[in-house]
């Protein structure tokens, strides 16, 4: 049993990692990129086959940090630099909750929830941060023909401390992009070492840059697989996760640390960086299962049974409520919190998840609702930019029997409309009492 009542929390978030990439999810060597470290981690804890996120980077990260669906917070999709984006300061972040419980908090990686003073990680509950305020494709800017820094700000890797102004460290170009994940892990290990020595519980949020395009490996991993840059980056990402797991073990903190590894959304669809969602159809920016379902592994030795696999539905908002409860802090009571406490499920005290489904929006549109084994689509966009608009009659799929969502069975199962639409109505009714924050809302 862990010696500390309040465990450390390490949350590693991969970027654009599809369900079918890792060995433990049917990929790995089949994709030209063995992932032994992550596969070993899966055997040591709980692997979820039905962990669900939002359609792309910003909405998922906002849901994780706020415990609320993006339609509520205005974090519907990313916008160009210099324009209002991200979580308003009205939202209470997971880092704020944990910091209030005495946790040391650090963010090393991709933020994408605000790039103006007052919205950087060090303004939102993190004691320290290092990484990129927005997204990885900006590393291409300075190498692009016609790029004009007089009209677009240079992209920077930044850092900041609580109570101080965040500052640029170096320009985020293609060379920096190749080395950033190594830097993030080095800083993460130093943070854990420092707080272990001080015997202070910590929350390490490590949103890696891999596998977001341009998917370029560290020079030490370039050519490692012989299967191209994407596979080389997969192998590097697995190595970086292994470095963190090894450091936790060497510090004697494994039994005192709840460790999560997951992804922010489904795979990239652009060549040559296209990924795979395994048995599911679609990529990110759609309402297909390939967009919603991503890898999720959670380990807590002695508390979470090893080698467990589950297809129960869990949503990214649940991490907010679950981790807050783990730290002994209540979630805000003055607003709807969509996340539910999944700790009893994670610990194996119950076989079933605490949720049966959720409504899924892209921007302001209700695209689908997922309930038990069923998926009801109100719009149809099987691939990015191939949408056919709102359907006159929804499509219904049994995603256990029909994982690729190929055969509409609504006419034979209209009974599913009852519970699915009740879920949607309950969710939308809450908008009246608690109006949604519009996108681009200023603090």
Residues with a known catalytic role: 57, 112
The radius of gyration of the chain from alpha carbons, rounded to an integer in Å, stands at: 21
Q: Are 188 and 126 in contact (CB under 8 A)?
A: no
- For residue 240, give the nearest of 9, 16, 8, 12 by alpha carbon: 12
* Preceding omega of 69 cis (within 30 degrees of 0): no
Q: How far is CA 402 from CA 269, 291, 442, in A?
A: 22, 16, 44
Tokens of 433: 């009492």
Tokens of 331: 């979630």
A 10 A CB-CB count for 329 gives: 18
* DSSP per-residue letters across 103-138: -EEEEEEE--S--STTSSGGGTT-SEEEEESS-GGG
- For residue 177, give the nearest of 123, 229, 149, 218 by alpha carbon: 218
Q: Which residue has the tokens 């102004």?
A: 165
Q: Please, what is the Cα angle at 416 between 411 and 422, to 5 degrees?
A: 135
Strand-pairing partners, residue 308, are 46
Q: Could you give the CA distance from residue 286 to residue 381 in angstroms, rounded to a whole number? A: 6
DSSP tag of 410: G
- For residue 81, give the nearest of 52, 57, 102, 112 by alpha carbon: 112
Sign of CA dihedral 147, 153, 17, 312: negative
Q: What are the φ and ψ backbone dihedral angles of 260, each rounded to 5 degrees?
A: -120, 135
DSSP SS3 for 278 = coil
């Amino acid at each position: 049993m862990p010696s500390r009542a309040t465990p450390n929390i390490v949350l590693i978030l991969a970027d654009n990692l599809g369900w079918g990439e890792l060995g433990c999810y049917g990929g790995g060597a089949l994709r030209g990129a063995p992932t032994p470290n992550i596969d070993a981690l899966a055997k040591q804890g709980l692997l979820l086959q039905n962990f669900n996120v939002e359609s792309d980077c910003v909405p998922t990260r906002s849901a994780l940090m706020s415990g609320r669906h993006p339609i509520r917070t205005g974090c519907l999709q990313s916008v160009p630099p210099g324009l209002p984006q991200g979580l308003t300061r009205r939202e209470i972040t997971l880092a704020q909750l944990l910091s209030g419980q005495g946790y040391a908090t650090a963010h090393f990686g991709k933020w994408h929830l605000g790039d103006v003073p007052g919205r950087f990680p060090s303004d939102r509950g993190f004691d320290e941060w290092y990484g990129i305020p927005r997204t990885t494709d900006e590393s291409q800017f300075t190498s692009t023909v016609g790029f004009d820094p007089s009209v677009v700000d240079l992209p920077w890797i930044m850092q900041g401390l609580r109570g101080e102004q965040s500052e640029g460290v170096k320009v985020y170009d293609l060379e920096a992009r190749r080395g950033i994940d190594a830097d993030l892990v080095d800083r993460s290990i130093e943070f854990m070492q420092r707080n272990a020595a001080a015997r202070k519980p910590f929350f390490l949020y490590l949103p890696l840059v891999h596998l977001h395009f341009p998917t370029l490996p560290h020079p030490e991993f370039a050519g490692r697989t012989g299967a191209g840059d994407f596979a080389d980056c997969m192998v590097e990402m697995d190595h970086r996760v292994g470095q963190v797991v090894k450091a936790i073990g060497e510090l004697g903190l494994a039994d005192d640390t709840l460790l999560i590894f997951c992804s922010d959304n489904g795979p990239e669809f652009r060549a040559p960086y296209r990924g795979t969602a395994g048995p599911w159809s679609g990529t990110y920016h759609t309402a297909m299962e390939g967009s919603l379902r991503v890898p999720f592994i959670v380990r807590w030795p002695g508390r979470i049974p090893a080698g467990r696999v589950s297809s129960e539905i869990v949503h990214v908002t649940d991490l907010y409520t679950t981790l807050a409860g783990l730290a002994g802090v209540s979630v805000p009571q003055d607003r709807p919190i969509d996340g539910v406490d999944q700790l009893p499920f994670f610990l194996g005290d119950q076989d079933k998840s605490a949720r049966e489904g959720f409504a899924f929006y892209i921007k302001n549109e209700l695209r689908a609702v997922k309930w038990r084994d069923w998926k009801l689509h109100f719009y149809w966009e099987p691939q990015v930019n191939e949408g056919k608009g709102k359907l006159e009659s929804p499509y219904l799929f049994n995603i256990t029997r029909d994982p690729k969502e190929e055969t509409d069975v609504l006419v034979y199962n209209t009974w599913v409309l009852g519970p699915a639409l009740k879920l949607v109505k309950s969710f939308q009714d809450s908008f009246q009492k608690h109006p949604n924050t519009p996108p681009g809302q200023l603090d």
